Structure 1
Amino acid sequence: MEEVSVQWYVEDVSAHSCEVAVAGLPGVGHVGKLVVDHLIRSLNAVKVAEITSTYFPPQMYLSEDGVLRFPRNEIFFAAGEEGRPPMLFLAGDCQSVGPEGHYVLGEAYVKVFSLLGVKRIYTLGGYGVGRLVENPRVLSGLSHASLREAVVAAGAVSNGIEPVGGIIGAAGLLITCGRRAGMEGVALLGETSGYLVDPVSSTAVLDVLEKLIGFTADRTELSKLAEEMQADLSAFTSSIQQNSADDLRYIG
């Protein structure tokens, strides 16, 4: 098995080229993954390529018929419509298990984007803060300082300080690897607790992404997930408060 293998699912690659790519792989709170998976479904995107790698975790996945398959990441294409440009999406099962693999895969993703004519990459992810966040901010990292004004105008934070410690994994590497290949890039990270799948943070990230690209997505599915999460958290908080009140009754 090769370190990185790309299998194309379309005969005419050039027919699926476009200038904008959006990446959302599994990470903190699955913030970016939720957004990209939602957009792939709501925009009826078609699969263009599949990427497998020995740098992925040795965790096989079950298909619907019970057959095991290798972990994979995939490239999807959504055709443009009035009010929305064509877009590519990078989605999938996982990221690399080690530092070297992150660099190798980052370069591989950028090569695929280059073949497809990409000029700007948006990477989406989460920034764990260790607590529940009711109104998450969206932090950013840029390939070029010239992008800062537009990113701030779209509602993201760009202060040169946050995210503290930088950006680990594909969300940061795709921006820097893309810059070396002549592409612009913006990383958008939604604040999240870090220990829950967080559609509320995903919605905040989508808000900024829509303004930067200039389109409006169907929010039905993502909004439903966010409402369910908030309801579950409210019930959990009420339960904790009730248990605390019950405990106090034993204190004389």
Structure 2
Amino acid sequence: MTFEIKYLEKPDLNKPIAIAGLPGIGLIGKVAVEYLIEELDAEKFLELGSDKFPGWAIRENGLVRGLKVYFHHVNIDGFDRDIVLITADAQASSSEGQYELSEKIIDILEDEGVDTVITMAAFLDSEGNKSPVVGAATNKETAKKIEKNGVGLLNNGRIVGMNGLLVKLGTDKKMKGFCLLGTTKDRDKDPQASKEVLSKFSNIYKLDLDLSSFDEKVPDLPKFKPPKIKMPSVSGGESETSYIR
């Protein structure tokens, strides 16, 4: 098996955008997307299995299952576009696997008519010099849009892992997109950073998301913490001290 796609339903989506939050530093993106799934009562419509994941399985209610990517869809009252919400049990364990799994996700999104890919992740800022949420976009127009809504633009550095690759690879399919990165000093779970990312996303699309129950629900999001996986190393200059994922 390289990929196993299981459709639970085939939704009829209206001008959908996609939001992905995969496990990474502080679980910032994953917690943010898991909250949206829970709060908005999004419906799961697809599961994607792959042998590109790390070599471990999940114990759940006495059973063992493999790792997956999960696709949900939802429509928010007052917003004229459907939203596809994507999360996963883990990221792929190698650089090659990250590219292949990201490309498969983008292929699925293309089939569903998605034209905008948004990822939520973390920016490790040990000195606390950055805005609560920073980001980068695929074009100047989108960059100006997110900056206008309180997102600090990153001028350099790299977004490591699939949360960066999804936005980049989307451009190969003529999709635009951007990354929203919650700044954190902690590699462990940082709920406040997840909440800041959701707030900025809400501002960008004028959604008026209700975050009043976030602090109450976040202890159960996600339902487990994956083991630490050593990511593929990347070379770079000594001046690049911040880590983005």
Q: Tell me which interval the TM-score lies in, with the shorter structure as reference length.
A: 0.7 to 0.9
Question: In structure 1, what is the equivalent of residue 150 of structure 2?
Answer: 155
Q: Determine the C-alpha separation between the residues in 1 that align with 2:172 and 2:130.
A: 35
Q: 2:178 aligns with which of 165, 172, 186?
A: 186
Question: In structure 1, what is the equivalent of residue 92 of structure 2?
Answer: 96
How far residue 135 of structure 1 moved from its aligned partner, in angstroms, is 8.7
More helix by share: 1
How far residue 226 of structure 1 moved from its aligned partner, in angstroms, is 7.6
Q: Which moved more, 1:138-147 or 1:93-102?
A: 138-147
How far residue 152 of structure 1 moved from its aligned partner, in angstroms, is 0.4
TM-score by length of 2: 0.83
Structure-2 change in CA distance of 1:175 and 1:144 (3 Å):
same
Q: Which moved more, 1:84-93 or 1:40-49?
A: 84-93
Question: In structure 1, what is the equivalent of residue 203 of structure 2?
Answer: 211
Q: Determine the C-alpha separation between the residues in 1 that align with 2:206 and 2:18.
A: 14
Q: 1:48 aligns with which of 20, 45, 48?
A: 45
How far residue 176 of structure 1 moved from its aligned partner, in angstroms, is 0.8
Q: Any conservation in 2 of the 1:73–1:90 contact (CA below 8 Å)? A: yes
Structure-2 change in CA distance of 1:55 and 1:105 (3 Å):
same
Q: Secondary structure in 2 aligned to 1:203?
A: helix
Equivalent pairs counted in the alignment come to 219
Question: In structure 1, what is the equivalent of residue 223 of structure 2?
Answer: none
**Which structure has the larger Rg over C-alpha atoms?**
1
Q: Any conservation in 2 of the 1:136–1:201 contact (CA below 8 Å)? A: no
Q: Determine the C-alpha separation between the residues in 2 that align with 1:52 and 1:32.
A: 20
Q: Any conservation in 2 of the 1:23–1:36 contact (CA below 8 Å)? A: yes
Q: Could you list the structure 1 runs, at least 4 aligned residues long, displaced by more than 4 angstroms after superposition.
A: 133-136
What are the ranges of 5 or more consecutive residues in structure 2 without an aligned counterpart? 220-245
Percent identical: 23
Q: Determine the C-alpha separation between the residues in 2 that align with 1:215 and 1:158.
A: 22
Q: Secondary structure in 2 aligned to 1:220?
A: coil
Amino acid corresponding to residue 26 of structure 1 in structure 2 = P
Question: In structure 1, what is the equivalent of residue 225 of structure 2?
Answer: none
What are the ranges of 5 or more consecutive residues in structure 1 without an aligned counterpart? 228-252
How far residue 187 of structure 1 moved from its aligned partner, in angstroms, is 0.6
How far residue 225 of structure 1 moved from its aligned partner, in angstroms, is 6.4
Are positions 1:5 and 2:8 aligned together?
no
Question: In structure 2, what is the equivalent of residue 249 of structure 1?
Answer: none
Are positions 1:146 and 2:141 aligned together?
yes
How far residue 213 of structure 1 moved from its aligned partner, in angstroms, is 2.2
Alignment of 1:52-91 (within 5 A): 52-64=49-61, 66-83=62-79, 85-91=81-87
Q: Determine the C-alpha separation between the residues in 2 that align with 1:32 and 1:216.
A: 19
Q: Determine the C-alpha separation between the residues in 1 that align with 2:200 and 2:150.
A: 6
More strand by share: 2
